[in-house]
Amino acid sequence: MRVLACLVVLAACSGQLAAHEMKAALTKLVFNQRSGNIEVMHRFYVHDAEHGVKQLFDKSADLLNSQQTQQTFSQYVSEHFALTTPAGEAISLTLVGGQLDGRFFWVYQEAPIPPELQGLRIKHNALQALWPAQVNTVNIEGRGEVKSLSFDSKTGWQQLSF
């Protein structure tokens, strides 16, 4: 009976550890024809973002309770995500802000849709300097079928056409 109890506790703990080791972020990039903007929504696990700010900026950083820490992390994400036209012309994204939402932290950016845009070049390396296993997935919506790109620590710029 004691062995069974130990196995149950061990299984519960290993499930929690695996959840904390996910190191993944999801970004949704939407072409909003009504607003005329490219809208970018980055979703990070709070656990990863909290550990990231403590390692990157300040050991006492508090993502859950500090607006300054949330702003610092949002700025960090905006500096590690970039868009260009296929020709390499930068698409300047404006940081709209960030917010906590349950177990996720969201960072929002936007930019006007460039005229006659035929594709995008995208780079997304947030948290990958800390954790080479970090995978950042970007889903692109609003220009035909949804397209997805995944970025790991070995991935630089990726390009797609519409």
The DSSP 8-state label assigned to residue 80 in this structure reads: T
- The number of folded domains in the chain is 1
Per-residue pLDDT tens over the stretch 48-104: 999 999 999 999 999 999 999 999 999 999 999 999 999 999 999 999 999 999 999
Are 70 and 133 a contacting pair, CB within 8 Å?
A: no
| Domain of residue 86, residue span | 21-161
- Strand runs labelled E in the chain: 24-32, 37-45, 81-84, 90-91, 94-101, 104-112, 119-124, 135-141, 147-151, 158-161
pTM check: above 0.75: yes
- Report if residue 122 sits inside a domain: yes
- Report if residue 11 sits inside a domain: no
Cβ neighbours for 14, distance < 8 A, ≥ 6 positions apart: none
- Report if residue 3 sits inside a domain: no
- Report if residue 128 sits inside a domain: yes
Taking the chain, what is the end-to-end CA distance rounded to the nearest angstrom? 60
Q: In the block, which residue shows the tokens 């072409």?
A: 31
Per-residue pLDDT tens over the stretch 2-11: 444 333 444 4
69 CB-contact burial (10 Å; exposed 0-12 / middle 13-18 / buried 19+): buried
Are 70 and 103 a contacting pair, CB within 8 Å?
A: no
What is the per-residue pLDDT for 8?
Answer: 41
CATH code at 65?
3.30.70
- Report if residue 144 sits inside a domain: yes
- Report if residue 12 sits inside a domain: no
Are 49 and 107 a contacting pair, CB within 8 Å?
A: no
CA dist., res. 109 & res. 7, Å (int)? 45
Q: In the block, which residue shows the tokens 């190191």?
A: 23
Residue 10: in which H helix or E strand, if any?
A: helix 2-20
What is the per-residue pLDDT for 96?
Answer: 98
Per-residue pLDDT tens over the stretch 17-55: 444 557 999 999 999 999 999 999 999 999 999 999 999
